[in-house]
Structure 1
Amino acid sequence: MVGMVHDAFGIPNIDDAETGNSSESTQVFGPNEETKSFFNLIKDAEQPLYPGCEKFTQLSFIVRMLSFKVMSGWTDKSFTLLLELLIEAFPEGVRLPNSYYKANKMTTDLDFTYKTWDACPNHCMLFKNENKDIGECVICHASRYKEDDSNDPNTSKNTIANKNGGKRVAAKQVRYFPLKARLKRLFMSSKTSSLVTWHVKERIDDGVLRHPADSQAWKAFDTKNSSFASEIRNVRLGLATDGFNIFRNMSLVHSTWPVVLMCYNLPPWLFMKQPFFILSTLIDGKYGPGDKLDVFMQPLIEELKELWNEGVFTYDASTNEMFKLHAALLWTISDFPAYAYLSGWSTKGKFACPCSNI
């Protein structure tokens, strides 16, 4: 875990930060206060679990325990009780939070988190913003929550709620992993930040197609958006999605949809590797979103618009400076049926071919 954190977040020397001016605009050297706070959190979380411990840091141990909690269905209270027991059992000076809230807050502060929204079971809308407190879909009026399927007239509609500690269970949910934080982490490591500029600094431009930057689409985009292309650290993204059965049973009807992003700035031998996949959205089964996939991608679309129009201040560890990062989505990758959901073009019946329109 320590090695993973170092590789992902390589911590530079933040004591030599200084500010200077360029002829065109103010250039800020060194990390800003927000970035410094993040590095301090990482530094603190990487301390040994207790004096002399070599196998675990505070962060690695908490992450392992939180994963066990999810896989084994522990309650928040049982997790807190276990932490209290471990604090008593471990040697003096153990670095453990004494409650689930504090343990979870540690991962939240480090941006190891996601947002969850309930969704209409018929895929009409998300229950967010002004609709976060309503109980049924404003379009089809379907219930937001699972209802008891029993035919027994004496069975209460709240049976499912009673089985889940009084909490009603959403009929469908979507989980969104914020994109800006993930892109900023690419630049906080001196190793990965230098790789993001490979497409300009190290790519051989001899007319041979070896990298997406050699394609006509990439070059046409740069010509049309010269201000975006002028900053070589701006990120070009590809998006891939498809449904799959998480239970590995082809006879069971189920379709969970992950939406994954790839950073095409990276060298061609890296941008399709798992460590650089960016999981953006996870749409719960049991049924796929179909042609209403755009409903579940609203959070991603909003963030992509913000990254395109406004950008986000990011610390570049390779140059020890802050800069305004922008991002653009260039391509989508999918099979032919999913192409229809992503593009809005019907891939069956009349005019099924998007290339020839026949």
Structure 2
Amino acid sequence: MEDMIDDIGEDNFKSAQVYDSLKDDSEKSLYPGCTRCTRLSAILKLFNIKARNGWTDRSFSELLELLHEMLPEGNMLSTRHYEAKKILCPMGMEYQKIHVCPNDCILYRKEFETLTKCSRCGVSRFKVKDDDVDEDNMKKGPPAKVKSEGLLRHAADSPQWKKIDTHYPQFGSDPRNLRLGLATDGMNPYGPNQLGNDIGVYLTPLIEDLGLLWDEGVKVFDAYGNDNFNLRALLFCTINDFSAYGNLSSYSVKGHYACPICEENTSYHQLKHGRKTCYIGHRKFLRRNHPYRRLKKAFHGYQEDKISPPPLNEEEVYERVCQVNVTFGKILKKPIMKNIWKKNSIFFQLPYWAKLDVKHCIDVMHVEKNVCDSIIGTLLNIKGKTKDDVNSRKDLVEMGLRLELQPQAYGKRTYLPPACHTLSKVEKKSFCACLYEMKVP
């Protein structure tokens, strides 16, 4: 700890007072007579445990209070998370706060740093009391050697990884360079107001940092090799659910052409009674001799002879978005766009992004959860969750499918003939008991 403080040096701190404070904490015993821990080393170890186990700030404060009471009198341990964090801030754990327009128009940085209200929608930068509101503002690294054996066990087995090594051999030659995955799940700074298309406003600082990590890199100490090296990083892909997929990729994942692979060739059917869009024709992605292609009754009454469309390559995707201009923010009236590509994604500012084949990946957890919820809701006939309701049966009749399941009216009551998946009350209890007793990791 002392060697680290000496290596940092007094000149590297903004003021001598910060250096003296850090130096003093590194020499001060945790409590009188303690020879094992200093105030700084104890706080640093506790913060490491907090980070590894994902403790909340509140639980960490409660732990500090308990430890403070258990240690001998006169101990120097902080009792609050905020106080402990202030001790470590001079060591580089500080963060920068950036103001943002509540309507997601701009970030108050660079040319907008000195503004007091948004240059696009006019909303004040600061929170004000109701009686002070201006009327104008009331307008709203893989392992060194990976044996693939034809299987995808690691991201290094993917064609995209190998393509990066081919196009950028200097980057791929050093296994210490990073290939990052970006997850945006839960990124919603204004609560009920979803970011949607305006997420690019909040990603601007990240894109700038990623650009720096790619173009110049940063000096990093390699503890294993005991030397310094220039670390570079590349954004390998994003990982998110399907709605975030649309916000990040700039493709409209709603409506009749919701499939980013098929685009205008998406096979859809508008349900008359359920008033939803269903997507059929998935069998065209199977191999030509797959037995499911010949089945009729189990699907929508037809054999499938179509073949899957070729996916867009990286150049074709960029051609579709490079000319799309969009103004961020929720207040300004935006023209109704018929283009299924909504914007030029901010990720294309990265020099390598246009060359990546697979830019966005679907989070498997979300897919598994949604499918599981639908299956269980249908099997147990949970109201509001089941996919087998009166409108679903009427739509089957409309499409000429499973006519034996047609709903039957008896006065004011409607009877739904049992389907092959319909469970009795005893079977439902047995099914729930099976789920209750299931043991999983």
Tell me how far apart the structure 2 counterparts of residues 35 and 201 of structure 1 sit (CA, whole Å). Answer: 36
**Aligned CA distance change for structure 1 residues 355 and 35 (closer, same or farther; 3 Å):** farther
For 2:157, the equivalent position in structure 1 comes to 214
For 1:127, the equivalent position in structure 2 comes to 108
One-letter code aligned to 1:233:
R
1:328 is paired with a residue whose SS is: strand
Tell me how far apart the structure 1 counterparts of residues 246 and 259 of structure 2 sit (CA, whole Å). Answer: 10
After the TM superposition, which residues 316-335 of structure 1 pair with which residues of structure 2 at under 5 Å, given as runs?
A: 316-335=222-241
Tell me how far apart the structure 2 counterparts of residues 237 and 45 of structure 1 sit (CA, whole Å). Answer: 35
For 1:193, the equivalent position in structure 2 comes to none
1:340 partnered with 2:246: yes
**Aligned CA distance change for structure 1 residues 288 and 209 (closer, same or farther; 3 Å):** same
Cα deviation for residue 157 of structure 1 reads 2.2
For 1:116, the equivalent position in structure 2 comes to 97
Cα deviation for residue 14 of structure 1 reads 7.4
One-letter code aligned to 2:132:
K
Cα deviation for residue 342 of structure 1 reads 1.1
Cα deviation for residue 200 of structure 1 reads 3.4
Note if contact 2:104-2:201 (Cα within 8 Å) is conserved in structure 1: yes
Note if contact 1:310-1:326 (Cα within 8 Å) is conserved in structure 2: yes
1:353 is paired with a residue whose SS is: coil
Structure with the higher fraction of residues in strand conformation: 1
Note if contact 2:178-2:234 (Cα within 8 Å) is conserved in structure 1: yes
One-letter code aligned to 1:242:
D
Cα deviation for residue 352 of structure 1 reads 2.4
Cα deviation for residue 109 of structure 1 reads 2.1
Cα deviation for residue 201 of structure 1 reads 2.3
After the TM superposition, which residues 193-342 of structure 1 pair with which residues of structure 2 at under 5 Å, given as runs?
A: 196=141, 199-201=142-144, 203-243=146-186, 257=188, 283-342=189-248
Tell me how far apart the structure 2 counterparts of residues 335 and 95 of structure 1 sit (CA, whole Å). Answer: 46
TM-score (norm 2): 0.44
TM-score (norm 1): 0.53
Cα deviation for residue 104 of structure 1 reads 5.3
- Overall identity of the aligned pairs, in %: 38
1:58 partnered with 2:13: no
Cα deviation for residue 284 of structure 1 reads 4.6
Q: 1:145 aligns with which of 126, 150, 153?
A: 126
For 2:314, the equivalent position in structure 1 comes to none
One-letter code aligned to 2:172:
A
Q: 1:357 aligns with which of 250, 254, 263?
A: 263
For 2:283, the equivalent position in structure 1 comes to none
Note if contact 2:184-2:244 (Cα within 8 Å) is conserved in structure 1: yes
Note if contact 2:43-2:84 (Cα within 8 Å) is conserved in structure 1: no
Cα deviation for residue 54 of structure 1 reads 8.4
1:119 is paired with a residue whose SS is: coil
Aligned pair count reads 231
Moved more, 298-307 or 113-122: 113-122
Note if contact 2:102-2:190 (Cα within 8 Å) is conserved in structure 1: no
One-letter code aligned to 1:157:
D
Tell me how far apart the structure 2 counterparts of residues 144 and 299 of structure 1 sit (CA, whole Å). Answer: 19
Give RMSD over aligned pairs.
Answer: 4.5
Greater relative CO, 1 or 2 (CA 8 Å, sep 6+): 1
Deviation string, structure 1 residues 152-192 (Cα, Å, up to 9, x no partner): xxxx327xxxxxxxxxxxxxxxxxxxxxxxxxxxxxxxxxx
Cα deviation for residue 110 of structure 1 reads 2.1
One-letter code aligned to 2:197:
D
Cα deviation for residue 112 of structure 1 reads 2.0
**Aligned CA distance change for structure 1 residues 202 and 219 (closer, same or farther; 3 Å):** closer
For 2:321, the equivalent position in structure 1 comes to none
